[in-house]
Structure 1
Amino acid sequence: MNALGRPVEGIPFREGRTQGFARGRFHDLAYVDWGDPDNPHVVVCVHGLSRQGRDFDALAQALVGLGYRVVCPDLPGRGRSGWLTDPELYALPQYVRDMATLLAHLRVEQIDWVGTSLGGLVGMMLAGAENTPVRRLVINDIGPFLPWAPLRAIGTRLREAPPHHHSLATAERRLRTALASFGPLTDAQWRHLTEHSFYPERGGGWRPHYDPNIGVPFAPGRVYNVSMWRDWEAVRCPVLLLRGAESDLLRADTARQMTEQGPKAKLVEIPGCGHAPALLDPDQIRIVTDWLGPAA
């Protein structure tokens, strides 16, 4: 991966697709697939609430260099995946079912999982299931206790996001504000995120890549503290926990508890970031690659 986040020549890159199912209707599940498709050493990288799989381009290519195949899906309602007809389905149970469907589609016996925010919660639930294929788990700035105030703020940002931008330049300015907690990024990195966060409209201009209804579960009056400690205690695999040092969603005391309970995660705090570190910076990527190591 070069400094602009562009694919490096010689690293295979494919766009894949399978189907999920919800309430009597199938929907597309899109993913980006890096590396040798026959490689049994697979890392699955899953994004946060309003993001998509291309956030992991830089990490994916670093992992391919260590001998892995890397699969980066778009959760339903995001990116190239289909939208759900019932907004109430935009919740963890459906996401977990869809990612289980994807894993079956990939036909691999074991995976390592990297999940940012919502993607970390999905990984936690899959890793805690009986007969799980998850061998190792990297959780980026999320935990089994979610305080209501930052959840409400996330919902507010989703509801207030403009549905249309006249240019990519105005879209990028909005993105830089909305995702400021990702930490310091280069202009090239912001442009990479922008190019995959907005899609051109037929009549001109650009729209966000996601279904606005993903914010319905965060509507006023529906957001409370969330406790998932039982799910955390069910995880048995090794866990690397990343925390933005200024994160309000993964509190310092919650992160500390995660190192003491359940799988007893290894904690690494990343300075200069809130929720959640973008995993675009080489030093952040190195934290993940050093922990996973070369594919065995």
Structure 2
Amino acid sequence: MAFTRQTVQCISPAGLHHMSYKEWGDPQSAKVLICVHGVTRVADDFDMLSQALESDYRIICPDVVGRGQSGRLPNPQLYQIPQYVSDMVTLLARVNAETVDWFGTSMGGLIGMVLASMKNSPLRKLVLNDVGPSLNFDGLKRIGDSIAQDVRFDTFEEAERFIREVSISFGPHSEAEWHKIARDVLKQDADGKWVRHYDLSLAIPVQATTAEVAAIGEKMLWAAYDAITCQTLLVRGAESDLLSKATAAQMQERGPHAEVVEIAGVGHAPTFVQPDQIAIIREFLLR
């Protein structure tokens, strides 16, 4: 089945903004899967996963505000988890399902973790893709510095090489897969230059995060994780510099006692475009 593009209006302290999302599968299906991407990625990341699961689920894949085809926020300090959670609650109201399953990569996993921790949460199953309550501070700093780079390229080929270099931790991919990974997050600006398809202001709150602030955030995230009761799968890239083996082990022992699967040869974060990775998610969700 082909996907459709839709939008939903959301609210922030700065006013209204729109969130774009892709919808796959039967729109009347009671089984709903929400897929939310990482900090600089977009809904298109889940095309292969959606095609593999669309006969089993109605699948909703948003561009989180500030990315892709969604709106931009006038106040960059709002580019943080509380605003994203608020937007997802609006999306859940649009979806109008009694329960949903959630697949979140990195930032998308943090959003899902907070939603799953709330009283009367509709989340039935939760997949956390290479993310947990404890995040390596050096890894966060690397991501913040990468987000802030205002890079512009004369040709798509140059831009594609750049995306491939900064995404090398995703692990081995075919040439066609790398091409799509790059194409999904690139656009041409008014001058014809190829740029990344997100608001560079996303970097401001990330770069402002100190070790002390990160420690406070970690404490709050562990409290949220410990409150989760739904079935949870944690996927870790074996070479991840963001989610440590020690944190993954803690997540097995605390809160929802997550099942843990580690993917060899991959860092932050597995892309789930390849059949062996998709099979992991399919088995968990459809078990």
Q: TM-score range by the shorter chain?
A: over 0.9
Task: Give the SS at the match of 2:262.
Answer: strand
Q: 1:210 aligns with which of 198, 204, 227?
A: 198
1:235 equivalent in structure 2: 228
Cα distance in 2 for partners of 1:217, 1:172 equals 27
Task: Give the SS at the match of 1:136.
Answer: strand
Which 10-residue stretch deviates more, 269-278 or 189-198? 189-198
Cα distance in 2 for partners of 1:194, 1:156 equals 19
Could you say if the C-alpha distance between residues 112 and 221 of structure 1 is closer, same or farther in structure 2, counting changes exceeding 3 Å? closer
2:173 equivalent in structure 1: 185
Structure 1 runs not aligned, ≥5 long: 1-10
Amino acid at match of 1:82: G
Deviation at 1:221, TM superposition (A): 6.1
| Equivalent runs, 1:1-296 vs 2, <5 Å | 11-65=1-55, 67-162=56-151, 164-219=152-207, 222=210, 224-225=214-215, 226-227=217-218, 228-293=221-286
Percent of paired sites with the same residue: 43
Could you say if the C-alpha distance between residues 105 and 182 of structure 1 is closer, same or farther in structure 2, counting changes exceeding 3 Å? same
Task: Give the SS at the match of 2:49.
Answer: helix
RMSD: 1.2
Deviation at 1:220, TM superposition (A): 5.4
TM-score computed with the length of structure 1 as normaliser: 0.93
Deviations 1:212-254 (A, max 9, x none): 0011112256353441210100100000110000011110000
Deviations 1:28-55 (A, max 9, x none): 1000000111111110000001111100
Deviation at 1:194, TM superposition (A): 1.6
TM-score computed with the length of structure 2 as normaliser: 0.95
Task: Give the SS at the match of 2:141.
Answer: helix
Deviation at 1:24, TM superposition (A): 4.2
Task: Give the SS at the match of 2:184.
Answer: helix
Deviation at 1:202, TM superposition (A): 2.9
Deviation at 1:156, TM superposition (A): 1.0
Cα distance in 2 for partners of 1:221, 1:92 equals 13
Deviation at 1:161, TM superposition (A): 4.6
Aligned residues: 282
